[in-house]
Every structure is written in structure tokens, then in C-alpha cells.
Chains A and B, each alone.
Chain A
């Protein structure tokens, strides 16, 4: 399948008070046309930071240190191009940020916010056109028309989240980067958001989605492929089903085991989270970053960083898998 967006060897760091903390460390990823790529992983591992870089929104104290960014046939060197054209941002890659439900201007009505977003890039749009487009998408998410007239605080958390989803797709971006777009939603609204994204993909209004979520059951159903991050790195990637049923990396396995499956037997069990805390990224350990918490770790893990084993389609960065692939 054709590649829509890809990054190679991306590194990004927060620089503050003379201290440099690299939270995205050598990430390479590929998003294909028509695909939903899921990203999950430890809280604080750098998913939102990666999302900001991919959406070309990195600004101090966040710096892109290196990385090639390939979008729809053109290469950009992110570390050098701090002023990527506005045309790219918002229009070609749009971001639906985490916690976006609070980012709405509290003094404007939803229709005013929508109009402003559309006019910023398409100045000739009439208010009627803008409202019609907004209303049509709101309706697809099961939201009543009155929402157009509402102020943000009059909507429940879940309603606001659906509104920001609509607003972020109003410009028909090629790539939508959605950072936990469904965390605040009940299962039925989640389903509606996912359905809207799928429809927009099928109609080619948008051409690819990067979907960050903690909810693995949801991700398994939404994403074509899933990438798992740990401490700034992608540690495993593969087709969604395989990632759940046949994960290879000990971190992925532990994560999958910690899912509270909605089956009554879960009550009788005690599901344990992974012991310990992720490494301090100000001074990451040499070798495998999961080693201090990994039950399989041995001497080599603590000395040498494991490279990805497998191929571009399906890999895991763990010494246990050495020799498993060609």
C-alpha cells in the first residue's frame, strides 16, 4: 500500500534551564493511504509529543533535533524547517489535541468557532456554507442542531469532545492526528466518533489517521496497525489483531495482560499493573529501557540497546527475538 506520511529517525527534546530531555528518540513510522495507525503506550512515554511533532506544531521548549518527514511525496527536514509553511499545518496535517475539549474559546458560540477555523484557511467561504458543513458533521455524530448555538460550557464533556472532532476535520486535512480523541467518551459516542473517522476515510475526505489511545480494546477495533511506545521509542509494531493476540515484546505483553476485559470473571481476579516506574528520561539507562521492569532481562539487556527484530511490517525491539527473523 502507498505511503502517505512517514518519519525516519525522529528525535525531539524539551530544552529548559540548560537541561535537555529527549522524549522522542529515534522514532520511525509510516502511515499508509487510507489507514488508521494506532499508537498506545505508557503514560508519559512521548505520544503527545510525537503527535505535536507530526502535526508540525513543535515549538519551544520542544525542539526537533533530527528527523526526516515525508508527506505525500515531499521530504522535509524537520530540524531545519522551523517555519514550515502554514499551508501544510492545519490543511494537510491537522491535530486533535489531548484535552482539546477545554481548548474551545469559552466566549464564542460553536458556530462562530467553526466559521473562524474555516475562514482562516478558506477566506471566501460564506457563513451559510460553513454552518452547513459543520451542521452536517455534527449530525453524523448524533449531536443536535442546537449545539451550533451553544457556548462550550453548556455542553457535557462528551459533547465537547465530539464538537472538537468535527472542528478538526472541517478543513478536510490529508492526515488527522488524534490524541486520545475518545478518552472522555462513553462507548456509544466512541463508536460514533470512530464511525465518522472511518466514513471520512472511505470518502477520502481525509486520507490517513494516527489515533493515540490507551483503550486497547477500542484500538484493536479501530486501527489497522498498532505501534507500542515505551520511554520515547517504538518498541513493537504490527497488525492490530496480532498485537493483541500474539504480541512479542514483554512490555506489550504486560500491557495487554493488564487490560480489564469487560467479562464478569474479571471481578474475581486481581490484575496487576507493571511494577516500577518508567526510566527518568533525563538520564535513560543504557541498553533496553524496559530492562529495570522486565522479568526476562539478563545482562546483555542492561548493556546493549536491542534493535528492532523483524521487518518494517512487524517488528519488536527485544533481545529475546534475536535470530527469529531473517
Chain B
């Protein structure tokens, strides 16, 4: 199948000279339409930097990305963001302090140009309900009035509402309880099924990576050190870091 996204030898260095830090080093991978790829790796391994590169919030120092075969540099940002959307790691930072939930969602919809009021309202309501939030209770609230999990779900709702081709989700469920986590992951699965959305799912929770994704990329110090179908990476891991990662997972039963 034709790739939706091709990432080619992507690198990003912060700073220069002695202080230079290569946060992402020569990362390459392909993503098929409708495919879900999990990116796992320790803190500081470059996962969020990779996410920001893919979202074009940061420019690479080297490398290239193709969206449906086209060099992304040639695609205007607004057009690109209609296809590629994000849920950020940190629901605290991502939310404008002075925007109510309603304003935040409305602003996101302007990406699509003018929409009839009814349509806008319907989309916002549907999106909030799908993440287990009641629109009447939540639309008028400001970020400081929401709990961590509520904020995170608003951000997921926002992204889903925009129906992107590719969703880059940076730990979208880290602030959610187990039940909501299942609800949100099921929602992502269903959206993939229905609309063929591809997902880059960044997580440090191996259980979630297992549950949601088709393929896993393991990052270590900026590089992809292991890649493959979930079962293969878990059962026949090659890289010592992957092995350590798996052995540090806390056991639940027993």
C-alpha cells in the first residue's frame, strides 16, 4: 500500500558546538494509511521532539518527510495541519489559559473555514461526548477549572473533531484513569476503523502500546533502535534497552 507518511533520516540538534544535543538522530520509517504505530522509549529519548518535527512545529536540521509522496516543505502549514493533527503530552501547557473549552474548540474549527453554527455545535458536542464529557457541563469552563484528565480529554476531543488523516498523539492518556483510558483508546481504534485515520501513538505504557498499535518503534537516545510488529518486539526483543524497558514494567497480578 502507498504510504501516508514517509520519514527519511530525520534529525534535530539543539544548540551548537560543545553544547549541541542531538535529540533526534536519523530516524526513518513509513506509515501506511490507517496504521497505528506506537513510539516508546525512556524520558528524554526524543519522542516529543520527533512529534514536533512531524507536526512541523520544529524544523529538522537534516532529513525529509513526505506526505502522500509530496515533500512536506512544499505544503503550506495550514493545509498540512488539516491533514496532520496533534494531542500534546501536557494538557496543562497546551491549553490557552484565557480560552474557555467552547472557544478552544471553535477556534480549532476555523481551520476549515466558515461552518454553519448548527454544524459547529453538533461537531463539538459529538466530540466531547465521545471522550466521556458532557458538553453542557464542560463548554463554559476554563482550563484551571478542569481536572488534569478533563483537560486531556478536551484535547483529544479537539483533535478527533478535526478528523485528520494523521493524528500524532503524545501520551494522550497519561492523565486518565484506567476506565477512561480504555474509552479513549477504543475511540481511537474506532476512528481508525471508520475513517482510516493513521496514528502515531507516543506512550510509555507498554500495556497501551500492546492494546492499540500495529507496530512499535523503540527510541533510545534519539535513535530508533528497534522496530516491528508488537508481538515480535515484545517476544524477540534484540536491543538491550528494549529488554530493560520490558523488565521495568510493573506487574499487576500475582
Q: Which residues of A contact B (CB under 8 A)?
A: 14, 40-44, 48, 98-99, 101-102, 154-159, 161-162, 180, 183-191, 214-218, 220-221, 244-245, 254-256, 258-264, 266-267, 270-274, 277, 280
Distance of A42 Cα from B245 Cα, bound (Å): 28
**A98 pairs with B148, CB closer than 8 A:** yes
Q: Which of B65-73, B98-106, B112-120, B229-237 participates in binding chain A?
A: B229-237
Which chain B residues border A263 with CB–CB below 8 Å?
207, 210
- Given A187-B250, A214-B176, check contact A264 B210 (CB 8 Å): yes
Cα A187 to Cα B207 in complex, Å, equals 11
Contact of A259 among B91, B92, B137, B252 (CB under 8 A): B252
Min CB distance A233 to B, Å, is: 15
B61 beta carbon closer than 8 Å to chain A: no
A267 to chain B, nearest CB (A): 6
Establish whether residues B204 and A99, one from each chain, have CB atoms under 8 Å apart when the complex forms.
no
**Smallest Cβ distance from A25 to chain B, in angstroms?**
16
Q: Is the CB of B43 within 8 A of A159?
A: yes
**A260–B211 contact, CB under 8 A?**
yes
> Do residues A270 and B235 form an inter-chain contact, with CB atoms below 8 A?
no
Chain B residues with a Cβ closer than 8 Å to the other chain, count? 56
Complex alpha-carbon distance, A2 and B228, angstroms: 52
Contacts A180-B175, A214-B177, A260-B182 given; indicate if A159 touches B42 (C-beta within 8 A).
Answer: no
The answer for the CA separation of A255 and B221 in the assembled complex, in Å, is 35
Chain B contacts of A186 at CB under 8 A?
40-43, 45, 204, 245
For the A-B complex with A158-B44, A273-B178 known, give 6 more contacts whose Cβ atoms are closer than 8 Å: A99-B92, A214-B175, A255-B178, A260-B181, A260-B210, A272-B186
Task: Please give, as numbers and ranges, the residues of chain B lying within 8 Å of A267 by CB-CB distance.
Answer: 210-211, 230
Q: Is the CB of A260 within 8 A of B205?
A: yes
Q: Is the CB of B44 within 8 A of A156?
A: yes
User: Contacts A185-B204, A266-B211, A280-B137 given: A43-B250 contact, CB under 8 Å?
Assistant: no
